[in-house]
Amino acid sequence: MFKKLLLVSLLLFSAAGSAENSVLTVDLTDPPYERSAAREQAMVQVLARLTGSQAANSWVQDEALAEIDRYLVSESFAGGYQATFDETQLSELLNTAQLTFSVAPKPSLLMWQQLEGKGLMAEPSWQSAAKYYQWPLLWPVWDLDEYMLLSDAEAFTADNLQTASQAYGADYWLALTQHKGQGRWQFFSAKQTQPLVSGKFTAPMTPNDISQLMAKLNDAWLKQPQVKTKKSHPRLENSAPDQPLTLSKDAPGELTILVSGLTRFSDTILLERRLSELAEVNQVQVIESAGYQSRYRLAYTGAKSTVLNALSNVEDLAAQGTREFNWLGSQRD
């Protein structure tokens, strides 16, 4: 009876914490002194929550850091630093980069830890690492039945762990065993009989080791079919400009082009990235925007004709004249 009451309390506490804190809200208890550094740290953290390691390995993180104001809903330095980010704007950016992401609340994670045959309870380093990714943690009570079932490292089998975990109603559980300086971890889903991912480690785990493992679990969760979100978000459409943009004469070594059809901010970002990838172009700059039109200035070396020829091969960019183009990327979504 006591165990059942305790389980109910644990689950209610976990659910309340999950509902209270969105993955889009980052709370830094010990933020950098400078506001700009705190904002950047919060942005990196929210991208890690939504995309795992993907954003850090793409142009998305650089773009988000350069335009933080666009993605912020609110921020406060009361008792630390807290920032809430815009779901629609971030989703637009991540969809443009074709990254798998989720803005859904993270499921609860049940922690089974055993050190030299002894079950471990809550640890601050795990709580901190889980909070970074906004994973609610559940800790077993380690009653006699659980000790009997999971008596040693060899007893940490998929079947035994599933049997012990069912009482907690968790969707995922992590099992770690440590013996004589060597450790093994396994990450399970309630919907599968075998571990999603597993690995070994040298015990004891440092806070950095725990953070890295939590990152692996977050990545593994994002790869689950039921997690991948193809959610439709309201589009932020750019309309026709009140006064259409025009082109002027180029300076030596520069080519200015006018592009129409950039109905979303993310279109402007994606096109700028594609132009920057051209071997003939040294620098790309958006010098003016109005509605769904933008003027890009391309700095180059060599012949202008070579650059114009390269532009004809840019995906989703259709020539409407010598220096005028239409963006087709929005039509493909």
Task: Say yes or no: 134 and 210 in one domain.
Answer: yes
As a dihedral over the C-alpha atoms of residue 90, residue 51, residue 57, residue 35, rounded to 10 degrees, the angle is 50
Helix (H, G, I), strand (E, B) or coil at 137: strand
Q: How confident is the model at residue 57 (pLDDT cuts 50, 70, 90)?
A: confident
Average pLDDT taken over every residue of the chain:
87
Task: Say yes or no: 131 and 76 in one domain.
Answer: no
Task: Say yes or no: 120 and 55 in one domain.
Answer: no
Q: Considering the domain boundaries, does residue 6 fall inside one?
A: no
Mean pLDDT of 147-169: 86
Q: How far apart are CA 29 and CA 264, in angstroms?
A: 35
Residue with tokens 């009361």: 78
Residue 21's pLDDT is what? 61
Q: How confident is the model at residue 17 (pLDDT cuts 50, 70, 90)?
A: very low
Contacts 24+ apart (CB under 8 A), 69-78: 70/265, 71/43, 72/39, 73/24, 75/39, 75/42, 77/31, 77/35, 77/38
Task: Say yes or no: 68 and 114 in one domain.
Answer: no
Longest pairwise C-alpha distance within the chain: 83
Is residue 194 within 8 A of residue 169, CB to CB? The reply is no
Q: Considering the domain boundaries, does residue 171 fall inside one?
A: yes
Domain count, the chain: 3
Residue with tokens 């004709």: 305
Token readout for 242 is: 């009140």
Identify the domain containing residue 70 by its residue range: 24-96
Residue 15's pLDDT is what? 42
Query: pTM of the entire structure?
Result: 0.76
Task: Say yes or no: 52 and 84 in one domain.
Answer: yes
Q: How many CB atoms lie within 10 A of CB 246?
A: 10
Residue 138's pLDDT is what? 92
Task: Say yes or no: 89 and 117 in one domain.
Answer: no
